[in-house]
Amino acid sequence: MNYDVTVIGSGPGGYVAAIRFAQLGFKTALIEKYNALGGTCLNVGCIPSKALLDSSEHYHQALHKFEKHGIKVEGLGIDFGRMIERKREVVKQMNKGVEFLMKKNKIDVHYGFGSFVDKNTVKVSKEDGSEETFTSENIVIATGSKPIIIPGVEYDKKRVITSTEALELDEIPKKLVIIGGGVIGLELGSVYARLGTEVSVVEFTDSLIPGMDKSLGKELQRVLKKEGFKFNFNTKVTSAKTEDDVVKITAEDMKKGKSLEIEADYCLVSVGRRPYTDKLGLENAGVKLDDRGRVEVNANLQTNVENIYAIGDVVKGAMLAHKAEEEGMFVAELLAGQKPHINYKLIPGVVYTWPEVAGVGYTEEELKAEGRKYKTGSFSFRASGRAVASMDVDGFVKVIADEATDEILGMHMIGPRVADLISEGVVAMEYRASAEDVSRMSHAHPTFTEAIKEACLAATEDRALHA
């Protein structure tokens, strides 16, 4: 065999798996169809979206908060071209970082489209038309996902766009309609709303960020409304089509039973992503898909073919970069004979709007459905000295604990820097801490983290100090 292991796809699942395999002494190859490493996350996902979120938030702060801070700015404006260029620079820097890590770990990177010839043989079809074939003891599928386009929506990549194009526009839209009130739509909607775009969201269900604790979606909706977002819930888009640079969207308000027509200069389709296994030749290796088109895996992330594993967006579970990374490390350690473990209940979900939104563990809705007895404690950022000082008073931290044992079952928060704060919830729950345990730990003052301590105090016999 040419390699001990070959990883197909260089996203956060694939490249992290490759590093861990190499660290553990496996002769490792990584195949990537694009000329840049890092996958969706680094090139058209997590990183570029955060770069634009940061730039637009700086502008928004300058426009709406600087004066209150006593800072005068004259001639404030936006150089959107520069903003996009900076985002590209951030991505490039990270691409180089991953390339460096591949070299450092002596991983053979093959650029080209990978496909199975049989269960131990992979073919790489390169851009110049040439092909390379090699054999591998084990193969890891980490081919990720692609955006879903709904029927009736004519995706032209210019005006009817997905997140990929929304990160590379050459102008700021005047009016942007977003189909889907999930994480990706709201993050990119925030970027443009802060830059002055009129943003309206059309959502099929009755709330934002479905899947997260309902209280978070409600608060996020209230804040985004203040920023000018418009929402149409229980509304199903039936068509979207560009005519003379105008996108015409038709939708059906399912509650009122009437149809709706909206016009915009851009329409962002963000209704979810589908696992990407196109032309991978899975049939040549005998690898099975499940009923939703994902590569079917068992609890060890092993497919129905013994030496083939799959990780990340292409398998079941949350489509998140850090979930893909955990799975990458899991597979490498498993094949090295170790006993790795992933607690899927404790993979945090985060939305990088401002305020940020984050949650981990059980939601109240899940506990209610299970009939489990619980208690909650909440603390509003309005009562946090740190939040008042930085004028970030929207939001709260909510802790859910078992009614009898006080074990923390879930933490849900919306507020400043909660994307970072949520890690405290993960650590606490991994160690099965009680709300009282956390409430008795010293949290530096003044920090946003005090809101977690206070919420834990609130969950422990209503003892919050500053509420």
From 34-42, 298-306, 369-377, 445-453, give the range in contact with ligand FAD by CB under 6 A.
Answer: 34-42
State which of positions 348-377 bind ligand FAD (CB under 6 A).
Answer: 352
φ/ψ of 451, rounded to 5, equals: -65, -30
Q: From the list 6, 7, 11, 408, which residue makes contact with ligand FAD (rule: CB under 6 A)? A: 11
Q: Is 49 annotated as a binding residue?
A: no
Q: Is 328 annotated as a binding residue?
A: no
Q: Is 305 annotated as a binding residue?
A: no
State which of positions 316-355 bind ligand FAD (CB under 6 A).
Answer: 319-322, 324, 352
Contact flag: residue 214 with ligand FAD (CB under 6 A)? no
Q: How far is the CB of 54 from ligand FAD (least distance, A)?
A: 12
Catalytic residue among 58, 64, 445, 466: 445
From 113-121, 239-247, 261-269, 358-366, give the range in contact with ligand FAD by CB under 6 A.
Answer: 113-121
Contact flag: residue 41 with ligand FAD (CB under 6 A)? yes
Comparison of 192 and 379: residue with beta carbon closer to ligand FAD? 192
Q: Is 50 annotated as a binding residue?
A: yes
Comparison of 352 and 374: residue with beta carbon closer to ligand FAD? 352
Q: How far is the CB of 160 from ligand FAD (least distance, A)?
A: 16
* Count of chain residues binding ligand FAD (CB under 6 A): 37
Q: From the list 163, 197, 215, 378, which residue makes contact with ligand FAD (rule: CB under 6 A)? A: 163
445 catalytic? Reply is yes
Q: Is 322 annotated as a binding residue?
A: yes
State which of positions 220-279 bind ligand FAD (CB under 6 A).
Answer: 276
Contact flag: residue 297 with ligand FAD (CB under 6 A)? no
Comparison of 19 and 41: residue with beta carbon closer to ligand FAD? 41
SS3 for the chain, per residue? CCEEEEEECCCHHHHHHHHHHHHCCCCEEEEECCCCCCHHHHHHCHHHHHHHHHHHHHHHHHHHCHHHHCCCCCCCCCCHHHHHHHHHHHHHHHHHHHHHHHHHCCCEEEECEEEEEECCEEEEECCCCCEEEEEEEEEEECCCEEECCCCCECCCCCCEECHHHHCCCCCCCCEEEEECCCHHHHHHHHHHHHCCCEEEEECCCCCCCECECHHHHHHHHHHHHHCCCEEECCEEEEEEEEECCEEEEEEEECCCCEEEEEEECEEEECCCEEECCCCCCHHHHCCCECCCCCECCCCCCECCCCCEEECHHHCCCCCCHHHHHHHHHHHHHHHCCCCCCCCHHHCCEEECCCCEEEEEECCHHHHHHHCCCEEEEEEEHHHCHHHHHCCCCCCEEEEEEECCCCEEEEEEEEECCHHHHHHHHHHHHHCCCEHHHHHCCCCCCCCCCHHHHHHHHHHCCCCCCCC
Q: Is 144 annotated as a binding residue?
A: yes
Contact flag: residue 165 with ligand FAD (CB under 6 A)? no
CA nearest to 64, candidates 173, 193, 194, 186? 194
Contact flag: residue 122 with ligand FAD (CB under 6 A)? no
Q: Is 7 annotated as a binding residue?
A: no
Contact flag: residue 14 with ligand FAD (CB under 6 A)? yes
From 52-60, 210-218, 255-263, 312-320, give the range in contact with ligand FAD by CB under 6 A.
Answer: 312-320
Q: Residue 87, Cβ neighbours under 10 Å: how many? A: 21
Q: How far is the CB of 396 from ligand FAD (least distance, A)?
A: 22
Comparison of 33 and 241: residue with beta carbon closer to ligand FAD? 33
CA nearest to 142, candidates 224, 229, 4, 29? 29
Binding residue numbers for FAD:
50, 114, 143-145, 313, 319-322
Residues identified as active-site: 445
**Contacts to ligand FAD by CB under 6 A:** 8-14, 31-34, 39-41, 45-46, 49, 113-115, 142-145, 163, 184, 276, 280, 312-314, 319-322, 324, 352
Binding residue numbers:
50, 114, 143-145, 180-187, 203, 272, 313, 319-322
